[in-house]
Structure 1
Amino acid sequence: MKRVLILAGLLISSFAFSQGSPDYGSGLKVNINEDGSSYFRIISWAQFWAQHNSDRPLDSNGNEQADLSFSLRRARVLMYAQINKDFLILTHFGLNSLNADTMSPTGTGDASQLFFHDVWAQYSLGEKHAVGGGLHYWNGISRLNNQSTLNIMTLDNQRQSWATLGLSDQFARHLGIYLKGSFGKLQYRVAVNEAETNNLQATTVPLNGGAATYTGRRLLGSKAAGKAYSGYFDYAFFDAESNFLPYKVGSYVGTKKVLNVGAGFFMHPKGSVIADATGNLSGEDVSIFAVDAFYDAPIGNNGGALTAYALYQNTDYGKDFRLGTTYETGSMLHAHLGYVLPVATKTKFQPYLSYDSRKIDAINDTASQLGIGTNLYFSGHNSKITLEYQTLKYAQNDAVNTITLQAMIYL
């Protein structure tokens, strides 16, 4: 029992310390029994945005929109409970991107509502492996598709990396079963999931001879297109990262030395649908593959640290698939680099750069995005301010430039 308690304590403190706040401890942890072998922990966080964008389109009534806007980017509560050494249950709820256009008079509108992001239960298969099921975030593809929103180094996650959000899943979470664990320095996570029926193209039908639509389960049925399969594998050359929870850390702010290389996939047989010249429907397999590398380490003895990440992702949603400026059949290169300035104070500055380039098959063109920003850490990721300038150039469209100031606290 003593060994179990020590292991549980290490896992909890590792998750807390990984956020880059050495004085945070294990957070709000409540023991259920006297020896602490049963407990629950609660995490709460909020991210507030002030954005300036002079390139905003006209609103639905044809009026010009203000350059400055405010929004509540995220407001979340997560709780997990270790019932005993074999069982774990996690619930995670909140809301996203609440702004003046999505608020409702009495808080009962769709965008005003709290909803479950995760609800899953897990059973341990020995010390290094576990199986679980529910609405979960044990995703495949890449590190960014498993990114925690508590400790992103850049302002927000690279959007195309959440490659199935709203297409086969509910807000980057699938309903299904997963297996996760490690073999030495190699960590793995694999899952078999239900594909979502009512997705972002819930009312879309493919045009005769046109591009594919992500409508396989709805138009072809759950037997033909109901399941999706995913996995991610990463090897640690230096410090091992915790896989107690599925959320990957974006920056350790100098508290660990990590070099990981990874590879992952997502497969949805007949997930997309095309129609031939006479309107006959057929399914097309959705396949996404990625390789990535993550480096994070302290530099020198004065608190400096370097964070670097690189990703290549190949995405096939079906013939010439394209949905807005977010999802496209094609390929992507993404990288970001940040440096914590070596100052011997609790407050840390971390300037960073991010860049990605996408190849879009449907228009035989490209899109690129550049981000320049800095984090001001008052207490690691637990209390920080982020300022970022971002410019997006999509095909032949004019570049869209946005400046965002974010204030974040999590407890």
Structure 2
Amino acid sequence: MRHTRYALALGGLLLTGTAFGQVIPPATGTAPPPATPAPPPTPAAPAKSAAYGPGMKINISPDGSKYLRLMLWTQVYARYTENNTGTLRAPNQPKESQVDFGIRRSRMVLIAQLNPRFLVYTHLGINNQNAVSGGVAPTTDGKKPQFFIHEAVTEYKVNKYLSLGAGLHYFNGISRLSSASTTSILPMDLPLTNFPIIETSDQFARLLGIYAKGRIGKFDYRLSMNDAYLTNQTSTPLSLGTTTAATTTTPAVSTGTGVANYNPQNTNHIYQGYFSYNFLEPEANLLPYMQGTYLGTKRVFSIGTGFLYNKDAMYSRSAGSAVNVTSAVTADPFANVATNKHDMVLLGVDAFYDAPLDTTSRTAITLYGVYYNFNMGPNHVRFVGAENPGYGASALRGNAVPQSGTGGVFYGQVGLLLPKNLLGPKARLQPYVAYQHANYEGLKTSDGSTKGVNIMDAGLNVLLDGHNAKVTLNYRPRPDFTNVNDVQYRPEITLQTQVFL
């Protein structure tokens, strides 16, 4: 009986083990392949910076119709300059050439819109600081440059065709480049000829007044009426002549030169306008700044014309006219010395073309040309040097060139955005050439012929992040007009870095 129980127990254990360890044979046919192992999880892609677009924008309303925008940019120069003849670097220290460093521009723009009809913006910053000039006393040193307001504007949108604004603004006339964006220009810098009255009757190419702007179909316009800033306040009618010294028997005599200068008594308004027609894609016109090159992102072909008019802006004394310099004359020369008043009339016509050439290689071309006719009174010529490395108040010091005057001016530029990947996946190359030719009637040689002004720039933009981060190398053989009968060309090599956020 006991043996029977042992047999039954052993049989139960064997049956249980068989049940748990049994392998069911596969179905007839080919055995299935082993399961594909699961792929490892894909690592997260590194964060990629988004395109910068129109600036740092802070939305005040959920739909973005109310916002605040901030734009910042700085352009820094490292430059070799062979100076104009007779340039000083410090008091009584002549300097033929030097390597110097400077801040061409460091600025910011604040824009606020509380609804689609109202806009307010402020533009401020510094310009042209180096160790020699551009400071509080710009002809003495470069320390503590003035941080000043470039623009302060309020604007109201009347309808889709018209907006009205007021304040210190940049809606200038004459040409496209007279309201150019300084962050997207093709060459290293703008030719100051596009701002013929800069820092005379305007405030650094801006004017205080009212303006109207708008677009009707493909036609864009901007018009303004402005106050003329008081200028040339140290000038008097005696400044318009040469004075011979008095003798024991004759008084001093002031003889007119027939050369016009800015009228310190000018209180008339300045009227400006610019009109353009876009044949291809429209351009943004919310702000006054006109694009220099789109780097192949748009197809733009625009022609335009503009003007600036200021009554009695200039004055002169006829060549050869003479007046005895008596105590009464020196006490009130405006009442006792006859002068001629001249209206300022500045005209321009230009064309701009910017388009991609090949979508695969992302090449693009930029072309621009403008012709100016300046009437600024007889024989007027003005010399200006941007971020001038020369010391003192001499108009011909440092890198000064004939910037404006009565006569005609042509300026043109061409740039080519080269194929992508020449410098790797990020950087792009954009070589350019710019050329300016002017005939100012005040630049006459000893035989009476007019001496032309020829200024050429050749350079290369290295675009690290479009216009937001770029480096520019520029070469200029600059004409030195110290001796108009023997104009010498001085080399000027500049490396500029620009960051725009």
Is 2:434 the counterpart of 1:348?
Answer: no
Is 2:374 the counterpart of 1:334?
Answer: no
* Count of residues in correspondence between the two structures: 383
Q: Which of 294, 298, 316 in structure 2 is aligned with 1:256?
A: 298
User: What's the CA shift string for 1:355-381, capped at 9, x where partnerless?
Assistant: 111101012211101111000001110
* Cα distance in structure 2, aligned partners of 1:251 and 1:368: 24
Decide whether the 8 Å contact of 2:258 with 2:379 is kept in 1: yes
Decide whether the 8 Å contact of 1:367 with 1:392 is kept in 2: no
- In structure 2, the residue matched to 1:367 is 453
User: What's the CA shift string for 1:23-59, capped at 9, x where partnerless?
Assistant: 2134311122333221110000000000001335233
Shifted more, 245-254 versus 385-394: the winner is 385-394
* Cα distance in structure 2, aligned partners of 1:352 and 1:35: 42
CA, structure 1 residues 338+284, in 2 after alignment: closer, same or farther (shift >3 Å)?
same
Structure 1 unaligned residues grouped into runs of 5+: 1-20
Question: Aligned-pair distance for 1:104?
Answer: 6.3
- In structure 2, the residue matched to 1:69 is 100
Q: Helix, strand or coil for the counterpart of 1:187?
A: strand
Question: Aligned-pair distance for 1:346?
Answer: 3.2
Question: Aligned-pair distance for 1:328?
Answer: 1.4
Normalised by the length of structure 1, the TM-score is 0.89
Is 2:215 the counterpart of 1:185?
Answer: no
CA, structure 1 residues 32+146, in 2 after alignment: closer, same or farther (shift >3 Å)?
same
- In structure 1, the residue matched to 2:475 is 389
* Cα distance in structure 1, aligned partners of 2:74 and 2:211: 29
- In structure 2, the residue matched to 1:44 is 72
- In structure 2, the residue matched to 1:203 is 234
- In structure 2, the residue matched to 1:194 is 227
Is 2:125 the counterpart of 1:94?
Answer: yes
User: What's the CA shift string for 1:143-165, capped at 9, x where partnerless?
Assistant: 11111111111010011111121
Q: Which of 200, 211, 215 in structure 1 is aligned with 2:262?
A: 215
* Cα distance in structure 1, aligned partners of 2:89 and 2:465: 39
Question: Aligned-pair distance for 1:215?
Answer: 3.0
- Structure of greater Rg: 2
* Cα distance in structure 2, aligned partners of 1:22 and 1:168: 42
Is 2:160 the counterpart of 1:127?
Answer: yes
Letter paired with 1:147? A
* Cα distance in structure 2, aligned partners of 1:391 and 1:27: 36
User: What's the CA shift string for 1:337-365, capped at 9, x where partnerless?
Assistant: 00000124332100000111110101221
Superposition map of 1:6-405 within 5 A: 23-55=51-83, 57-65=87-95, 67-102=98-133, 112-198=145-231, 201-205=232-236, 206-207=240-241, 208-216=255-263, 218-219=264-265, 221-222=266-267, 226-276=268-318, 277=321, 278=323, 279-301=337-359, 302-324=361-383, 325-344=402-421, 345-362=425-442, 363=444, 364-393=450-479, 394=481, 395=484, 396-405=486-495
Decide whether the 8 Å contact of 1:263 with 1:290 is kept in 2: yes
Q: 4+ runs of 1 displaced by more than 6 Å?
A: none
Normalised by the length of structure 2, the TM-score is 0.73
Decide whether the 8 Å contact of 1:102 with 1:111 is kept in 2: no
CA, structure 1 residues 48+168, in 2 after alignment: closer, same or farther (shift >3 Å)?
same
Decide whether the 8 Å contact of 2:132 with 2:142 is kept in 1: no
Shifted more, 309-318 versus 108-117: the winner is 108-117
Question: Aligned-pair distance for 1:103?
Answer: 6.9
- In structure 1, the residue matched to 2:25 is none
Decide whether the 8 Å contact of 1:357 with 1:366 is kept in 2: yes
* Cα distance in structure 2, aligned partners of 1:211 and 1:234: 37
Shifted more, 88-97 versus 279-288: the winner is 279-288
User: What's the CA shift string for 1:191-223, capped at 9, x where partnerless?
Assistant: 11101103xx3322322532444433x32x52x
* Cα distance in structure 2, aligned partners of 1:195 and 1:122: 21
CA, structure 1 residues 356+89, in 2 after alignment: closer, same or farther (shift >3 Å)?
same
Decide whether the 8 Å contact of 2:57 with 2:68 is kept in 1: yes
Q: Helix, strand or coil for the counterpart of 1:43?
A: strand
Decide whether the 8 Å contact of 2:131 with 2:142 is kept in 1: no
Letter paired with 1:30? I
Shifted more, 57-66 versus 319-328: the winner is 57-66
Question: Aligned-pair distance for 1:166?
Answer: 1.3
Structure 2 unaligned residues grouped into runs of 5+: 1-48, 242-254, 324-336, 384-401, 445-449
Shifted more, 49-58 versus 204-213: the winner is 204-213
* Cα distance in structure 1, aligned partners of 2:367 and 2:199: 28
Q: Helix, strand or coil for the counterpart of 2:280?
A: coil
Q: Helix, strand or coil for the counterpart of 2:465?
A: coil
Letter paired with 2:186? M
Q: Helix, strand or coil for the counterpart of 2:204?
A: coil
Letter paired with 1:271? A
* Cα distance in structure 1, aligned partners of 2:113 and 2:373: 38
RMSD (Å) for aligned C-alpha atoms: 2.1
Decide whether the 8 Å contact of 1:333 with 1:358 is kept in 2: yes
Q: Helix, strand or coil for the counterpart of 1:326?
A: strand
Q: Helix, strand or coil for the counterpart of 2:294?
A: coil
Decide whether the 8 Å contact of 1:319 with 1:329 is kept in 2: yes
* Cα distance in structure 2, aligned partners of 1:326 and 1:410: 28
Decide whether the 8 Å contact of 1:258 with 1:297 is kept in 2: yes
* Cα distance in structure 1, aligned partners of 2:83 and 2:382: 21
